[in-house]
C-alpha cells in the first residue's frame, strides 16, 4: 500500500472503535482517544467493551501495535495527520442532534493544532455541521490554512460493523479541497484499489481485488444529507412493510409472501422488508428525528418522516394487543420474553422494541422471564430483577411453565428452537412471534397456537392437551 497515514480517532464507541481497528487493519497507524479512563484501561488490557463480530480478533491482532488507546487528546492530535471525530450526538428534546460533545472536542483540537490537519466528521451530524466546526476553530484562533473539514459518514450495521467497514457498499467523502481529498483517498486506498483484498489475512466479504470498494466524492453538505437520507429511507421500508402487514392480516393474506413478491422487483430489493416490531437502536430513531428537524429548520414540512415515526411507534402497540387478545387478561400471567437487544448479533438495547414491549407487560401486571444471548447485562440496568421481572440462563429455562412465549429479537438461536422441548417446558403451547421466525404450519404440526405479524393466526385444535401433543410431535 501507499505510505500509511497517522490517524487519531476521538471516541471509542461503536463507530470510533470499529473505525480505529479497521484503519489499523488497513495498515495505518491509529491512536484512539477517549475521556473514559476505565474504558481506555479495559482496551489496554485486551478487553472488548461492545459485542461486535470480528472486533475481539482485530483488537488482539492490532491492539498495542497499529492501534493504541489513550486519554490524551492534545498529544494525539499533534501526532496525527487526520483526526476523525466519532463522539456521541444524542437526540435532544426537539429531535435535533445534541452537538455539545462535538463542539467540546473541536475546542480541544483547536488548542492542539500546530500545523495543517484534516478534521473528519465521522459522527452522525446535521447538514452544515462542517461550517460550525470551521467557525469554532476560527474562534479559537486557528488559521484557515491550518485545517480542512471533511464529512465521512459511516454506514455500519451493528453486529456486522467490521465487515461493513472493510467491505462497504460505498465510501462517501464530503470534501472541499484537493489537499484534503488526496489524504482521504490515501486513507481508503487499500479498499478502493483492492490491495487489502489481495492479502492472505484479509477479512473475507463482498469486495475483492476485482471488485474493490467504491468511493464517492461530494460536498460536505451532500455527504451529511446522504447519511440521514439513507437511514430515513431504510426506516421507511420497515414502516411501509409493517403498514402493509397490518392490512394483510385483515384479509387473511401472508405478509411473508407479499414481501417476497415486492422484494423480487430489482428496483426495490428484499432487504428491510421484514414485518415485525419496527426499528430501534441508536441510529434509525435518532436519524429520522434529526432529519425531520433539519427540514423544519429550512422551513420545509417533511411529513413523510413523521408518518414513518408514527407507524413505527404504533407497531409495538399492534404486537402488545396481539399478546393481550391471545391471553385475554395479563395480570398474573407468566410470559417468556426471548430477546432484549433491538436486533440480533448485538448487545445494544437502545430504543429496543423488546424493552418497550416488556415494560408494557409489567405495567399490565404480567410476570416476565427474559433471555437474550448477549444483552441481559445491559437490560438489567433498565429492567432491574424483581419478583415480576426475572432473567434466565437459556431460552428453555425462560419458557418453563410460561403461559406464552414471546419472540422479540430475531436471534438465530431462536429460529432454531427445539420445538418439542419447548412444548414440554411451557404451561400452554402458545408462541406470539414478533419477528416471524417460523412458518405457521410448522408450529401447528408441533402443537402450538402461533400468532405472528401480518399472517393469519394458527390456533391448535387440541389446546387442552399440550403435553400429549408435544409427545406425539416428537
Chain segment 400-446, per-residue pLDDT in tens: 999 999 999 999 999 999 999 999 999 999 999 999 999 999 999 99
pLDDT at 472: 39
Instruction: From residue 473, give the alpha-carbon distance in Å to each of 100, 306, 338.
Output: 59, 47, 23
Cα–Cα distance, 7 to 120 (Å, whole number): 10
Q: Mean pLDDT over residues 81-109, rounded? A: 87
Torsion 343-346-349-351 (CA) sign: negative
Please state the rounded mean pLDDT for residues 280-297.
Answer: 88
**Of the candidate ranges 135-149, 166-180, 458-472, the one whose mean pLDDT is the lowest:** 458-472
* Closest of 339, 330, 386 to residue 360, by C-alpha: 330
Task: Say if 6-161 and 221-474 have the same CATH topology.
Answer: yes
pLDDT tens by residue, 96-110: 778 888 999 999 999
Helices 100-112, 129-139: axis angle to 10 degrees equals 40
Tell me: pLDDT of 130 over 60: yes
pLDDT of residue 458: 83
Reference 151, options 131, 166, 169, 135; nearest CA is: 131
Q: Which of 37-51, 311-325, 428-442 has the lowest mean pLDDT?
A: 37-51
Give the count of beta carbons closer than 10 Å to the beta carbon of residue 79. Answer: 13
Burial of 328 (0-12, 13-18, 19+ CB in 10 A): exposed
For 449-464, the pLDDT digits (tens) are: 999 999 998 877 554 4
The pLDDT of residue 1 is: 57
Q: So where are the chain's domains?
A: 6-161, 221-474
User: What residues are annotated to the active site?
Assistant: 283
Distance CA 253, CA 438 (A): 16
pLDDT recorded at residue 92? 73
pLDDT at residue 70, as a whole number? 96
Question: Is the model's pLDDT at 380 over the cut of 50?
Answer: yes
Predicted local distance difference test score (pLDDT) of residue 473: 36
Q: Mean pLDDT, to the nearest integer, of 78-92?
A: 90
CA distance 261 to 281: 28
pLDDT digits (tens, 9 = 90+) for 233-255: 999 999 999 999 999 999 999 99
Q: What is the CATH T-level fold of the domain 221-474, as seen in this structure?
A: Rossmann fold (3.40.50)
What share of the chain in percent tops pLDDT 70?
Answer: 96
Q: Is the pLDDT of residue 474 over 60?
A: no
Q: What's the length of the chain?
A: 474
pLDDT at 468 over 60: no
**Across all residues in the chain, what is the average pLDDT?**
93
Residues 6+ apart with CB under 8 A from 228: 124, 126, 127, 287, 290, 291, 294
> What pLDDT, on a 0 to 100 scale, did the predictor assign at position 469?
41
466 has pLDDT over 60: no
Q: Give CA–CA dist 39/93, Å, rounded.
A: 28
pTM for the whole structure: 0.89
Mean pLDDT, range 129-157, rounded to an integer: 93
User: Which CATH architecture best describes the domain 6-161?
Assistant: 3-Layer(aba) Sandwich (3.40)
Amino acid at each position: 500500500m501507499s505510505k500509511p497515514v497517522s490517524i487519531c480517532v476521538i471516541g471509542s464507541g461503536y463507530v470510533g472503535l470499529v473505525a480505529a481497528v479497521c484503519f489499523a487493519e488497513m495498515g495505518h497507524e491509529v491512536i484512539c482517544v477517549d475521556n473514559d479512563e476505565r474504558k481506555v484501561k479495559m482496551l489496554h488490557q485486551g478487553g472488548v467493551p461492545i459485542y461486535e463480530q470480528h472486533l475481539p480478533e482485530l483488537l488482539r491482532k492490532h491492539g498495542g501495535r497499529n492501534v493504541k488507546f489513550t486519554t490524551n487528546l492534545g498529544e494525539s492530535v499533534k501526532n496525527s495527520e487526520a483526526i476523525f471525530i466519532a463522539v456521541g450526538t444524542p437526540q435532544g428534546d426537539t429531535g435535533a442532534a445534541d452537538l455539545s460533545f462535538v463542539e467540546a472536542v473541536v475546542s480541544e483540537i483547536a488548542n492542539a493544532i500546530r500545523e495543517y490537519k484534516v478534521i473528519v466528521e465521522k459522527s452522525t451530524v446535521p447538514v452544515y455541521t462542517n461550517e460550525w466546526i470551521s467557525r469554532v476553530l476560527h474562534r479559537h484562533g486557528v488559521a484557515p490554512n491550518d485545517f480542512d473539514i471533511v464529512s465521512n459518514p459511516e454506514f455500519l450495521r451493528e453486529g456486522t460493523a467490521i465487515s461493513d467497514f472493510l467491505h462497504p457498499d460505498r465510501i462517501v467523502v464530503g470534501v472541499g479541497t484537493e489537499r484534503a481529498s488526496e489524504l482521504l483517498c490515501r486513507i481508503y486506498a487499500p479498499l478502493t484499489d483492492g490491495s487489502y483484498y489481495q492479502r492472505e489475512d484479509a477479512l473475507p466479504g463482498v469486495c475483492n481485488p476485482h471488485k474493490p470498494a467504491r468511493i464517492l466524492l461530494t460536498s460536505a453538505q451532500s455527504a451529511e444529507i446522504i447519511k440521514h437520507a439513507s437511514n430515513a429511507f431504510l426506516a421507511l421500508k420497515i414502516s411501509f412493510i409493517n403498514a402493509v402487514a397490518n392490512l394483510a392480516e385483515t384479509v387473511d393474506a401472508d405478509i411473508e409472501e407479499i414481501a417476497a413478491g415486492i422484494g423480487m422487483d430489482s428496483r426495490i430489493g428484499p432487504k428491510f422488508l421484514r414485518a415485525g416490531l419496527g426499528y430501534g437502536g441508536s441510529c434509525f430513531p435518532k436519524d429520522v428525528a434529526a432529519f425531520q428537524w433539519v427540514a423544519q429548520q429550512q422551513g420545509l414540512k417533511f411529513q413523510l418522516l413523521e408518518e414513518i415515526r408514527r407507524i413505527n411507534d404504533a407497531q409495538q402497540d399492534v404486537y402488545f394487543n396481539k399478546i393481550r387478545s391471545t391471553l385475554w387478561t395479563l395480570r398474573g400471567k407468566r410470559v417468556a420474553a426471548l430477546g432484549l437487544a433491538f436486533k440480533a448479533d448485538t448487545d445494544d438495547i437502545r430504543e429496543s422494541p423488546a424493552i418497550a414491549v416488556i415494560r408494557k407487560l409489567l405495567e399490565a401486571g404480567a410476570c416476565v422471564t427474559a433471555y437474550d444471548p448477549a444483552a441481559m447485562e445491559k437490560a438489567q440496568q433498565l429492567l432491574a430483577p424483581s419478583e415480576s421481572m426475572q432473567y434466565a440462563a437459556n431460552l428453555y429455562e425462560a419458557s418453563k411453565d410460561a403461559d406464552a412465549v414471546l419472540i422479540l429479537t430475531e436471534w438465530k438461536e431462536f429460529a432454531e428452537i427445539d420445538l418439542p422441548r419447548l412444548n414440554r417446558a411451557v404451561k400452554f403451547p402458545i408462541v406470539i412471534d414478533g419477528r416471524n421466525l417460523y412458518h405457521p404450519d410448522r408450529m401447528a404440526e408441533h402443537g402450538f397456537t402461533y400468532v405472528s405479524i401480518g399472517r393469519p393466526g394458527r390456533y391448535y385444535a387440541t389446546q387442552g392437551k399440550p403435553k400429549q401433543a408435544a409427545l406425539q410431535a416428537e
